[in-house]
Chain A
Amino acid sequence: MLPSFDLRFSSTANEACGFLDEDWYLIAGGTEMVPALRIGALTPIGLVDLNSSAEMRVVAKVGSSLEIGALVTHTEVTNSDLVVEHVPVMSKICMHVGNARVRATGTVGGNLCFAEPRSDLSSVLHALGASLILIGPDSERVLSIPEFIVGAFQTSIENREVLQKVKIPLPAEDVNYWKFTFGERPTVGLAWILRENEIHVVIGAATEVPTSYTFVKGEKVDLETWAEELEIESDLAGSAAYKRALIIQKLREIGVGL
Chain B
Amino acid sequence: MTTSQLITCKINGVGVEAWVKNRSTVAQFLREQLGLTGTKVSCEIQVCGSCTVLVDGSPISSCSVFAYRLQGKSVTTIEGVAERGHLNDVQEAFVNNFAFQCGFCTSGFIMMTMSLLGSSERPTDEEISEHLDGNLCRCTGYEPILAAAKVAVRKRFGDE
- Chain A partners chain B: yes
Residues of A within 8 A of B (CB): 2-7, 27, 30-31, 34-35, 37-38, 46-47, 49, 51, 75, 96, 98-102, 104-105, 183-184
B96 at the interface (CB under 8 A from A): no
**Given A6-B3, A99-B133, A184 and B25 contact (CB-CB distance below 8 Å):** no
Bound together, the chains give a CA A34 to CA B45 distance in angstroms of 9
Establish whether residues B65 and A34, one from each chain, have CB atoms under 8 Å apart when the complex forms.
yes
Establish whether residues A101 and B60, one from each chain, have CB atoms under 8 Å apart when the complex forms.
yes
Binds A, one of B46-54, B78-86, B99-107, B151-159: B46-54
Bound together, the chains give a CA A180 to CA B46 distance in angstroms of 20
* B contact residues around A51 at 8 Å (CB): 69
Contact digits for B21-62, partner A, Cβ 8 Å, 1 yes 0 no: 111010000000000000000001111010010000011110
Establish whether residues A7 and B134, one from each chain, have CB atoms under 8 Å apart when the complex forms.
no
Establish whether residues B134 and A30, one from each chain, have CB atoms under 8 Å apart when the complex forms.
no
Bound together, the chains give a CA A105 to CA B73 distance in angstroms of 14
B142 at the interface (CB under 8 A from A): no
Bound together, the chains give a CA A68 to CA B23 distance in angstroms of 29
Establish whether residues A104 and B65, one from each chain, have CB atoms under 8 Å apart when the complex forms.
no
B112 at the interface (CB under 8 A from A): yes
Establish whether residues B65 and A4, one from each chain, have CB atoms under 8 Å apart when the complex forms.
no
Contact of A99 among B1, B25, B46 (CB under 8 A): B46
**Given A30-B66, A31-B64, A38 and B44 contact (CB-CB distance below 8 Å):** yes
Bound together, the chains give a CA A5 to CA B134 distance in angstroms of 30
Establish whether residues A104 and B60, one from each chain, have CB atoms under 8 Å apart when the complex forms.
yes
Contact of B2 among A7, A98, A105 (CB under 8 A): A7
Contact of B46 among A27, A47, A102 (CB under 8 A): A102
Establish whether residues A7 and B46, one from each chain, have CB atoms under 8 Å apart when the complex forms.
no
Top 5 nearest A-B pairs (CB, nearest first) are A99-B134, A2-B23, A34-B64, A104-B58, A6-B1
Bound together, the chains give a CA A96 to CA B133 distance in angstroms of 11
